[in-house]
Each structure stands twice: as structure tokens, then as C-alpha cells.
Chain A
Amino acid sequence: DAKTTQPPSMDCAEGRAANLPCNHSTISGNEYVYWYRQIHSQGPQYIIHGLKNNETNEMASLIITEDRKSSTLILPHATLRDTAVYYCIVRVVNTGTASKLTFGTGTRLQVTL
């Protein structure tokens, strides 16, 4: 699976959009981009994933560049409860196989008043 690079930490004011970048310059054509977050001392929570197209769900939006070498997770209106470590993961997906995920150290997002 391709490696990812994320900034170690970011701050965001409550109510503003949080834009978390991820670089995955060695991504191959059959690798998806996944985002998870982990609130302190809890299990990671799935946020969103995508292959080529931008994706949006009730939690966030995922913007993938046309060359797929980087992506941005957008939390449109950050709240204090969004304070967490955010992990960007890329992995090959084969139907029926286990969803092995390789976690880096992620980005620690601090949302402030």
C-alpha cells in the first residue's frame, strides 16, 4: 500500500471549515483513499473514502486531486467534538479480501473556541 504524508498537527476555530491535507504521491490506480479519526483513548471511526471522484457524506467531504497524488478532508463546520487524530490511509481494494489498513501517525486536529 502507498505511504501517506500528513502534517502532525493543525488548529481550527469552532464553526470554521477544517481542511486536512494528505499527500500520497506514490498511489497506484487501484488504491483507494480512506479517512479515519480517533478521539483520545477510543477506537478509530470511519469518516469517508474515495477512489477518483470527490465524495461527500454527513460527516465530511473528500477532495482528491486529478492526478490522485493528494487529497483533502474537509469538515465544513468544525466543533469541539471534532478534536481528534485524523488518519489518511491508502490501500488496494480487492473484492472479498480483508480491509487491512496501514495507519501512520496522522494529523492531530485541535478545534478551539
Chain B
Amino acid sequence: DGGITQSPKYLFRKEGQNVTLSCEQNLNHDAMYWYRQDPGQGLRLIYYSQIVNDFQKGDIAEGYSVSREKKESFPLTVTSAQKNPTAFYLCASSLGGPFEAFFGQGTRLTVV
């Protein structure tokens, strides 16, 4: 089945540790995105990539890093510089232009 896979669904880390969230898609989409959602809030854009080996900062990129070495994969690293990393992280992909974005089921990160 085509879709976007985020893993793991739940992730726990100690404060000060970097952690990488996985996002894979087999929809042959060029564009991929990472969003963060805090309780009771909408989604905020962290990073996006329109094509392999290219990515752009979103609205809240500080403390995060990404890579786009393959079309299918867009991992997000939450670094120790991110002050409030505990959140629900969502990955999405799209064909770009007017086409809709498809979202994964999210990773809930808890930093203790």
C-alpha cells in the first residue's frame, strides 16, 4: 500500500540527547515536510524539502536539522539545542503545486 510511514509512534529520550525521527514515503512525491504540534494547537512547519538534496527552514527550525539524500526519506533530528522538544511530530509529502499533502500518523516525542 502507498503511504507515509513514521516510526516509532512513541519515543522517549533523556534531556540533552539528540534524537532522529524517521519518515519514509512510497508515493513518489517530490516534496516532504515536518510539522510540530503542541497540545490544543495547530501544526507548525519545521522544515520542508521540494526535491532531493534541497531543504528549506520553516517557521520554527531552530534546534532541528534534516537531510534529504533519497526521494523516499526525510529524517528529522531533534537536537539538544531545541528548548522544548516534547511534542507530536508529523511528516507529510505532496506532489507540490495545488495537490494535497498526505500526512503520516505521527511520532509522539517525550523528553525527560
Contacts and interface: CB of A to CB of B under 8 A. Distances in A.
A101 to B, nearest CB: 6
A34 B31 CA distance: 18
Given A41-B106, A43-B106, A102 B45 contact: yes
A46 B102 contact: yes
Interface in B44-74: 44-45, 48-50, 56, 58
Contact of A43 (B45, B92, B96): B92
Interface residues of B, number: 31
A42 B106 contact: yes
Contact of B41 (A46, A98, A101, A105): A105
Interface size class, chain A: 20 to 34
A99 B42 contact: no
Interface in A62-83: none
B96 A96 contact: yes
B106 A98 contact: no
B97 A94 contact: yes
A55 B97 CA distance: 18
Nearest to B106: A43
Main secondary structure of the interface of A (DSSP, over half): loop
Nearest to A103: B42
Contacts of A93: 97-98
A46 B99 CA distance: 10
A99 B44 contact: no
B33 A100 contact: yes
B94 to A, nearest CB: 4
A105 B38 CA distance: 11
Contact of A105 (B40, B90, B101): B40
A97 B92 contact: no
Contacts of A98: 31, 33, 48-50, 56, 94, 96
A99 B90 CA distance: 15
Interface of A: 32, 34, 41-46, 49, 87, 93-106
